Amino acid sequence: MQHSSKIHNVRYELRGPILQAAKKMEAEGQRILKMNLGDTAPFGLQAPESIVKDMIHHIRGAQGYSDSKGIPSARTAISQYYQTRGLMQIGVDDIFVGNGVSELISMTLQAFLENDDEVLIPAPDYPLWTASVTLSGGKPVHYLCDEDNQWWPDMADVEAKITDRTRAIVIINPNNPTGAVYPRHILEQFARLARKHSLVLFSDEIYEKILYGDVEHIHTASIAKDICCLTFSGLSKAYRMPGYRAGWVALTGPRAATAAYRETLELLASLRLCANVPSQHAIQTSLGGHQSIDELIRPGGRLREQRDLAHRLLNEIPGVSCTRADGALYLFPKLDRKLYPFSSDEKFVLDLLEEQKILVSHGTAFNWPDPDHFRFVILPSTTDIEEAVRRIAAFLAVRRHAAGTAGVEGTPADADAAADTLADSRV
Ligand SMILES: Cc1ncc(COP(=O)(O)O)c(C=O)c1O
Each residue's pLDDT tens digit, 252-281: 999 999 999 999 999 999 999 999 999 999
DSSP state of 149: G
Q: How far is the CA of 354 from the centre of ligand 1 (A)?
A: 28
Q: Which of 206, 241, 245, 248 has most ligand 1 atoms within 8 Å of its beta carbon, as the pocket-test mutant?
A: 206
**Domain boundary residue among 231, 266, 288?**
288
Ligand 1, CB within 6 Å, residue ranges: 38, 100-102, 126, 172, 176, 204, 206, 234, 236, 242, 247
Q: How far is the CA of 172 from the centre of ligand 1 (A)?
A: 10
In the beta sheet, which residues pair with residue 334? 321, 373
Q: What is the pLDDT of residue 401?
A: 82
- Contacts for 44 with CB less than 8 Å, ≥ 6 apart: 381
356/272 same-domain check: no
147/273 same-domain check: yes
Q: Can you give 39-85 as a three-state secondary structure string?
A: CCHHHCCCCCHHHHHHHHHHHHHHCCCCCCCCCHHHHHHHHHHHHHC
Q: How far is the CA of 297 from the centre of ligand 1 (A)?
A: 19
350/246 same-domain check: no
172/155 same-domain check: yes
Asked if the structure places residue 272 within a domain, the reply is yes
The pTM (predicted TM-score) of the whole model is: 0.94
Q: How far is the CA of 419 from the centre of ligand 1 (A)?
A: 36
Asked if the structure places residue 381 within a domain, the reply is yes
Q: Which of 133, 235, 236 has most ligand 1 atoms within 8 Å of its beta carbon, as the pocket-test mutant?
A: 236
Q: How far is the CA of 200 from the centre of ligand 1 (A)?
A: 20
211/253 same-domain check: yes
Q: Whose CA is nearest to atom 7 of ligand 1?
A: 101
Domain that holds residue 419: 15-44+298-424
276/318 same-domain check: no
Task: Kindly give the number of the ligand 1 atom that is closest to the alpha carbon of 103.
Answer: 11
Q: How far is the CA of 319 from the centre of ligand 1 (A)?
A: 31
256/359 same-domain check: no
**Domain boundary residue among 250, 269, 288?**
288
Q: What is the pLDDT of residue 16?
A: 77
221/327 same-domain check: no
Asked if the structure places residue 377 within a domain, the reply is yes
Q: What is the pLDDT of residues 294-337, one digit of tens each?
A: 999 999 999 999 999 999 999 999 999 999 999 999 999 999 99
Asked if the structure places residue 1 within a domain, the reply is no
Task: Kindly give the number of the ligand 1 atom that is closest to the alpha carbon of 242.
Answer: 9
107/244 same-domain check: yes
Q: What is the pLDDT of residue 427?
A: 43
253/384 same-domain check: no
In the beta sheet, which residues pair with residue 331? 376
Q: Which of 97, 99, 103, 128 has most ligand 1 atoms within 8 Å of its beta carbon, as the pocket-test mutant?
A: 128
Neighbours of 231 (CB within 10 A): 26
Number of domains in the chain: 2
To the nearest 10°, report the CA torsion of 277, 229, 222, 209: 40
Asked if the structure places residue 415 within a domain, the reply is yes
In the beta sheet, which residues pair with residue 320? 335
Q: How far is the CA of 123 from the centre of ligand 1 (A)?
A: 16
CATH number of the domain at 372, please.
3.90.1150.10
- Contacts for 194 with CB less than 8 Å, ≥ 6 apart: 169, 200, 201, 224, 227
- Contacts for 256 with CB less than 8 Å, ≥ 6 apart: none
Q: What is the pLDDT of residue 411?
A: 66
122/72 same-domain check: yes
Asked if the structure places residue 6 within a domain, the reply is no
Task: Kindly give the number of the ligand 1 atom that is closest to the alpha carbon of 99.
Answer: 11
Distance in angstroms (rounded) separating the CA atoms of residues 376 and 312: 13
Centroid of chain to Cα 280: 22
Q: What is the pLDDT of residue 412?
A: 66
Asked if the structure places residue 10 within a domain, the reply is no
Task: Kindly give the number of the ligand 1 atom that is closest to the alpha carbon of 38.
Answer: 14
**Domain boundary residue among 288, 317, 345?**
288
197/316 same-domain check: no
Each residue's pLDDT tens digit in the chain (427 positions)? 888 888 877 877 777 788 889 999 999 999 999 999 899 988 989 999 999 999 999 999 999 999 999 999 999 999 999 999 999 999 999 999 999 999 999 999 999 999 999 999 999 999 999 999 999 999 999 999 999 999 999 999 999 999 999 999 999 999 999 999 999 999 999 999 999 999 999 999 999 999 999 999 999 999 988 999 999 999 999 999 999 999 999 999 999 999 999 999 999 999 999 999 999 999 999 999 899 999 999 999 999 999 999 999 999 999 999 999 999 999 999 999 999 988 899 999 999 999 999 999 999 999 999 999 999 999 999 999 999 999 999 999 998 888 776 554 456 676 666 666 666 655 4
Q: What is the pLDDT of residue 422?
A: 62
Asked if the structure places residue 5 within a domain, the reply is no
Task: Kindly give the number of the ligand 1 atom that is closest to the alpha carbon of 101.
Answer: 10
Distance in angstroms (rounded) separating the CA atoms of residues 296 and 23: 30
CATH number of the domain at 81, please.
3.40.640.10
Q: What is the pLDDT of residue 9?
A: 77
